[in-house]
Amino acid sequence: MFPWSPLVFAIAMVLVCIAALVRGRWEEKLLGAAYLAACMASLAVERRPWTGPQGAVIAIDAIVLALTVGVVLGSRKLWPVIAAAFQVLTVGAHLAFIGAEGRLGAAGYLTVLAVWSYGMVGCLAWGAGSQLPLPERLRLHRLKKGLSVHRAAAAPMEPARAEPVDRRCGDGSP
């Protein structure tokens, strides 16, 4: 990892959360606000240097997990499901480190937490980006309208004529 990557991630995370708050629907707004608040709260309560899991940070991640699962249950979108999976992996990493009883290094623990954070921010960016309007050229109603105009210009359609019932039945009579 580059020495500046935590700063780049922090800036990207803040921008994605703001985009979710501004552009999103209720799912994006709730999880954007929750994730931004959780990151700020984690920075406020964590003790440095990191040597292992900290109860307050685990509790914050568990609260975000509960909120994410609540959004999954109330939403019909796919991205909250994937975001909940990343949050489950985050809480699982905390529990795995506790279960390892000091046999894992802090650097590996922090790397795993960072990777799952990237996934969570990516899902939130997906949710915020899905609320953007389509470019004018890709809007379906414009394509359908343009297609019907081109068809009408190419071959004018004749009005349908009603045939007698006996001719449509295929009995072969004139």
pLDDT one-digit tens code per residue, 64-90: 999 999 999 999 999 999 999 999 999
**Rounded-to-integer distance, Cα 60 and Cα 38, Å:** 6
Q: What is the pTM of this model?
A: 0.70
Q: 165 to each of 160, 173, 174, how far by Cα in Å?
A: 15, 11, 11
Contact 12, 121 (CB under 8 A): yes
- What pLDDT is attached to residue 161? 66
Q: Which among 42, 39, 22, 43 has a CA at the least distance from the CA of 125?
A: 22
pLDDT one-digit tens code per residue, 82-124: 999 999 999 998 898 888 877 777 788 888 888 888 999 999 9
| Secondary structure E strands in the chain | none
Number of Cβ atoms within 10 Å of the Cβ of 98: 14
Residue 1 has pLDDT above 50, yes or no: no
pLDDT one-digit tens code per residue, 143-164: 555 555 555 555 555 666 666 5
For residues 129-156, average pLDDT: 59
